[in-house]
Structure 1
Amino acid sequence: MIIVTTDFVPGKEVKELKGFVRGSTVQSKHVGKDILAGLKTIVGGEIKAYSEMMNEARQKAIGRMVEDAKGKGANAIITVRLETSNVMANASEIIAYGTAVYVE
């Protein structure tokens, strides 16, 4: 699956639009790690537990978007975007979305 943020795939021609595709996940960390992350905010620096959580969430969302595109017969996704939002305390949603296409 080709995934690009542009509205075209360099060197390929879009033969067919397959439609909007998306994938999302809502992630939260274990309360113990959340307490340690809270302590880290006092001294500053990267909160690795949250960086790892968000990276895992992005990969899941992209994977689900790819599955949606495959189900529509696409071999590429153009204009891909990632967004995040808080859905509740200590939980974030990541959504990946784009336009599924068939390219040659």
Structure 2
Amino acid sequence: MSHILVVTTDDIANKKIVKTLGLVRGNTIRARHVGRDILAGLRTIVGGEVHEYTKLMAESREQALDRMVDEARSMGANAIVSTRFTTSLMAQGAAELLAFGTAVVVEDI
């Protein structure tokens, strides 16, 4: 499996974009879990990081990135530039996390 370089910048140091392939994206929609909600609710009383939601967001971010990379790979890209994330509320207790960027082919300078 070929490696895809993913960056948030518009260019990559020591690389030249030789072909722009277009928009790629990956998303996931996750619902909260009642058990996690109970633990999170207790944590808000005490204060501090809500580890249950931190883990849920990290898993969602990785899944969205993996899907975006898979799409870029299928287009023949070896990099993705201008990567961004966004979230939106889909329903009560469910949210979408979307990763998107521009699939490109880069070469060493």
TM-score when normalising by structure 2: 0.90
Offset at residue 32 of structure 1 (A): 1.5
Q: 1:29 Cα shift?
A: 3.0
1:24 deviates by 0.3
Runs of 4+ deviating beyond 4 Å:
none
Relative to the length of structure 1, the TM-score reads 0.94
Q: CA deviation at 1:73?
A: 0.6
The 8 Å contact of residues 26 and 93 in structure 1, kept in 2 or not, is answered as yes
1:80 corresponds to: 83
Q: 1:56 offset after TM fit, Å?
A: 0.3
Aligned to 2:103: 100
Question: Tell me, which stretches of 5 or more residues in structure 1 are unaligned?
Answer: none
Q: What is the Cα-based RMSD across aligned positions, in Å?
A: 1.0
Identity of aligned residues (%): 49
1:10 aligned counterpart, secondary structure: coil
- 1:59 equivalent in alignment to 2:69: no
Matches within 5 A, 1:32-51: 32-51=35-54
Letter in 1 for 2:17: V
User: For structure 2, which runs of at least 5 residues remain unmatched after alignment?
Assistant: none
In the alignment of these two chains, the number of paired residues is 104
Instruction: Report the residue type matching 1:94 in the other structure.
Output: L
Equivalents in 1 of 2:94, 2:46: separation in Å? 23
Distance 2:45 2:96 in 1: 25
Q: Please tell me whether the aligned partners of residues 25 and 60 of structure 1 are also in contact (alpha carbons under 8 angstroms).
A: yes
